[in-house]
Amino acid sequence: MSSTLAQARGLLSGVKCDSCCLSWDYLTPGWCKVNAIKCNEPPAVISEIDCYTREGSQEASCEPAARAGWNSKIEYFLAQVGFSVGLGNVWRFPYLCHQNGGGAFLLLYVLLMLLVGIPLFFLELAAGQAIRQGSIGVWKYISPRLAGIGYSSCVVCFFVALYYNVILAWSLYYLGNSFQYPLPWEQCPEQRNVTVKECEKSSPTSYFWYRKALDITDSIDETGSFNPYIVCCLLAAWTIVCLGMFKGIKSSVKVMYFSSIFPYVVLFCFLIRGLMLDGAFEGITYMFYPKLEIWADIQVWRQAATQVFFALGLGFGSIIAYSSYNPKNNNCHRDAFTVSFINFMTSVLATLVVFAVLGFRAKDKAMECVARYVKETIVCSANVDQNLMPSFNYSDATSVGLEDYRNWFKQHGSSIPGNLTDCDLEKEMQKGVEGTGLAFIAFTEAMSLLPGSPFWSALFFLMLLNLGLSTMFGTMEGILAPLTDCFKTLANNKTKLTIFSCIIGFLIGLLFTQRCGNYFVMMFDDYSATLPLIIVVVFETFSVSWLYGADRFLDDIEAMLGWRPSVVYKYLWKYICLLAMLGLLGATTIRMFITPPTYMAWNQEEASEARLPYPAWALAVLSLLIIFAMMPVPLGLIHAVLQGRTRQTSRDTEAGQYSSVSTDDKCETPMTDMSELCQPNGTSALLSSTSD
């Protein structure tokens, strides 16, 4: 007796019938192998039967029988926004906006977000929602040879989690020190009634950051001992992350109800308070003043594209993991625009806050400068031509206006004996306004000038802690979700995997708690993620738009949403996004080779920062970080090729063991075949056919 089977054109998972369970291994057109499975096998085992097509177009673990989901759309939004909105929105975006043309940079940023950022964000959302797998499963589904992309994303997530949690440890340390008055970084300490020279040469906030918090060495070559306070804070940070991730998204989302919303409350409080400060208007004006000439600078385009790239969290796999918990009909197209818009507006809000407060700090510093040099002018007035002396009342130095002093200095300052200098407000704003320099030095100093400074300090560092926690949850999900999707043993022990991952993260993270640990944080931040993630997104874009096919991907989205997104996405994915990411990759690589990698070190003797080149061993470590992050891509390709050859050999040896199966038109789809097989008589007929 013969049975009819259509030529395999897709993937089939195991199907449980009344009398037996069957799985299909497609070998060559017209040939099939039937594997009988015990009927009492649990559904999870049946659903994960390996499926294979001869064309090599798809190979992946089938979707797990049961997959967690969001309880509501609000939870999903909190998770996606919490992951994408992180510390970079607060201390990276404002710096780039100020340094690269203010309003002109904002326009460039919006342009790149519309042309590159949102289409790629939509791509990852749709891929995760359609395939309902983590990053490894998604790219393996598209092609087995691309499985390494998902593993690379996991490696990069692990690298980022290592140093990102150290920043949370620093925030915890500052948060703990905020509950005292006066704040420990408001004044320089004294030893035997003498002000500490290192603090006197720099500032109280710089001294507290470099000497008290980090106890930093002069270079990365000097390791030093572990900082016990930071070690304890790092342990606390990893404990919080572990407890939040203990039960996957079910537990982490409960924390996100606070950690994703609280930062906005704090930002609005700071904005209202900041706008009432003297100098806030000047700070915001400096930020938004457009300098359109910067559009001709290729480095500005590179920095804007990189910021768009990291602001949305592309390439980490966390976007894919979170969207994989969505129902199939969720409008991921609208989600892409909504989350991107919230992310951008958060960056603008944070920038307003930062420059309102930094404007106040810069105005205070500039007025101190004016008072100091006016007093020096008074001392020299007896030996100076009275026609050169200022026309304003300089007898009271504190009453002199900044603009009055600057106008007088430009005209006659060079003719006055002494070391008079211009008191430039913008130069004051440019000091320490990026990264940790903004959060732990400049902004901290500004808050110490406010009435009720401990309250504002505690609020600020609690905000940083919550911003970092939401991002850490997403980063950890980018590691755990793909691994548990691909490996059944890990899926059955997800809680143990979470605890184990956090313990390993803490132990390796001790590297960053040494006295030279800050230099390693900068190394990981600058090099462990940037280049590998760009390469990952290049492969993602190419695999979806060219290998899988942009039209085919839009068909899948249409099947999910019930309507077809604009054909514009096809051309954006195939050309604009791909060329933009390749350009960013080329610009980043060229810059790394042209400009030798350097880091900002703290010189204790000079009490100032100095940019130093990385030593040879550090360059080797830096290179290994990039190589380790990218190694899974070629390894995954090689593994898939070798596996394909092994299966080809296996098919050649088994080809004679099975009978040819005729085909006809009534069994046009694989699902039609399986529906026939599940009839009471269909199964026995097929078995007798294969035994003939």
Q: Residues within the annotated binding site for Na(+)?
A: 82, 85, 89, 343, 467
Residues 346 and 404 in one domain: no
**What's the confidence (pLDDT) of residue 418?**
63
Q: Residues within the annotated binding site?
A: 82, 85, 89, 343, 467
- Closest by CA position to 160, among listed 68, 53, 241: 241
In a domain, 56, yes or no: no
In a domain, 45, yes or no: no
The model's pTM is 0.79
**What's the confidence (pLDDT) of residue 674?**
33
Residues 312 and 388 in one domain: no
Task: Supply the range of the domain harboring residue 375.
Answer: 368-428
Identify the CATH number of the domain in which residue 256 sits. 1.20.1740
Contact 485, 61 (CB under 8 A): yes
**What's the confidence (pLDDT) of residue 592?**
83
Q: How far apart are CA 359 and CA 365, in angstroms?
A: 10
The C-alpha torsion from 458 through 434 and 234 to 185, rounded to 10°, is -50
In a domain, 658, yes or no: no
What are the angstrom distances between the C-alpha of 579 and each of 208, 492, 536, 576? 46, 42, 14, 5
The residue behind tokens 């991107």 is 340
Question: What are 592's two structure tokens?
Answer: 């790394």
Q: How far apart are CA 297 and CA 98, in angstroms?
A: 15
Dmax over CA atoms of the chain, in Å, equals 120
Which neighbouring-strand residues pair with 26?
Answer: 32
In a domain, 675, yes or no: no
What are the angstrom distances between the C-alpha of 446 and each of 33, 99, 323? 73, 20, 40
Contact 44, 64 (CB under 8 A): yes
Residues 403 and 374 in one domain: yes
In a domain, 494, yes or no: yes
Residues 435 and 542 in one domain: yes
- Closest by CA position to 151, among listed 657, 628, 561, 531: 628
In a domain, 243, yes or no: yes
In a domain, 328, yes or no: yes
In a domain, 681, yes or no: no
Residues 314 and 463 in one domain: yes
Q: How far apart are CA 514 and CA 221, in angstroms?
A: 12
- Angle between helix 147-177 and 530-542 (nearest 10): 140
Q: How far apart are CA 119 and CA 350, in angstroms?
A: 25
Q: How far apart are CA 342 and CA 147, in angstroms?
A: 32
Backbone φ, ψ for residue 184 (5° rounding): -65, -10
Contact 293, 489 (CB under 8 A): no
State how many domains the chain has. Answer: 2
Tell me the per-residue pLDDT of 359-411, one tens digit each, with 9 for 90 and over: 888 888 777 777 776 666 655 555 555 566 666 666 666 667 777 777 777 76
Residues 563 and 584 in one domain: yes
Contacts of 534 (CB under 8 A, 6+ apart): 309, 315, 581, 584, 585, 588
SS3 assignment, position 321: helix
Domain limit, last residue, from 393, 428, 463: 428
Residues 346 and 377 in one domain: no
**What's the confidence (pLDDT) of residue 161?**
93
Cis geometry, peptide bond prior to residue 680 (ω within 30 degrees of 0): no
Q: How would you list the strands of the sheet with 15-16, edge to edge? A: 15-16, 21-26, 32-37
Q: How far apart are CA 142 and CA 544, in angstroms?
A: 8
Question: What are 680's two structure tokens?
Answer: 């009471």
Residues 96 and 162 in one domain: yes
Residues 167 and 295 in one domain: yes
Low-confidence ranges of the chain (pLDDT < 50): 1-65, 658-692
**Dihedral sign (CA 107, 111, 113, 116):** negative
Q: How far apart are CA 670 and CA 4, in angstroms?
A: 11
Q: How far apart are CA 297 and CA 302, in angstroms?
A: 9
**What's the confidence (pLDDT) of residue 34?**
34
Tell me the per-residue pLDDT of 445-487, one tens digit each, with 9 for 90 and over: 888 888 888 999 999 999 999 999 999 999 999 999 999 988 8
The C-alpha torsion from 245 through 505 and 612 to 581, rounded to 10°, is -50
